Amino acid sequence: MTCFVYLPRMGTIINVAAVIIGSLIGLLINQKLPKKIITIIFQVMGLFTLVLGVSMSLKSEHYLVIIGSLVSGAVIGEWIDLDKYMKRWSEKLKKRLKMGNDKFSDGLITAFLLYCMGTLTILGAIEEGVEGSYDILLMKSLMDGVSSIALASAMGIGVLFSAIPLLVYQGGLTLFSSFIGDHFTDVIINDLSATGGILLIGLGINILEIKSLKILNMIPALVIVVILSYLIY
């Protein structure tokens, strides 16, 4: 029993450590890279996020459930204004730590969304919570560690502090899965991944500075899509 309580926490701890280490490497590289190199890295990450989002969004054909979840989730998120609270928290953290990075909030939010919207986050948390295994999260940790090098080199130290909401979100999802993981069917996982993919497309648009979208205010859609998929399918 002790082993089971311990194991579900290890995957996320390793993932957080990978993000921290990768971010530190990225920050060291950032000091030696010319601005044009940082800009092109930034653009590559934006394009990669778009491609990843499109790939994930095609995992489900339950379009009515997904659009319903996105619309209702966005309305709820806009009403609560999650984007405002997240930015306010990141700005307070920035001031408390006396950091002058202009992209601190952008780096924190972008990295958090990129690390937490993927299929591997969902599947890894479910595997860890239900089976006590963290093989998927180990693979995700490697990917996030590499991504954090590029992100931190382009967006600064805010990427490093994305490890905090990552720990809360992914750790919470693992704990939640340990209680109800058996109810996560393939249909629910696919619908959840597709919804997360659409949010990643929006994130890619933000990274490329095509248009500023309040992706955080759409996050409640991830909860609603699970509920709708479970009730309907």
C-alpha torsion sign, points 165, 143, 70, 222 = negative
Confidence of residue 5 (pLDDT cuts 50, 70, 90): very low
- Residue 87 in tokens: 């930015």
Tokens representing 99 are 């950091």
Q: Is the pLDDT of residue 4 over 70?
A: no
Q: pLDDT band at 166, cuts 50/70/90?
A: very high
What are the phi and psi torsion angles at 49 (to 5°)?
Answer: -65, -40
CA-closest candidate to residue 87, choices 110, 103, 102, 109: 109
Q: Give 68-128 as a DSSP string.
A: HHHHHHHHHHHHHTHHHHHHHHHHHHHHHTT---TTHHHHHHHHHHHHHSSHHHHHHHHHH
- Position 7 confidence tier, pLDDT thresholds 50, 70, 90: very low
Please report the pLDDT score of residue 98 as a whole number. Answer: 65
- pLDDT 10s digits, 106-163: 888 888 888 887 767 887 888 788 777 788 898 899 889 988 998 898 888 889 999 9
Mean pLDDT of the chain: 84
How does DSSP classify residue 182? Answer: G
Q: What is the mean pLDDT of residues 71-76?
A: 95
pLDDT higher than threshold 80 for residue 181? no
> Comparing C-alpha atoms, which of 166, 172, 174 is closest to residue 134?
174
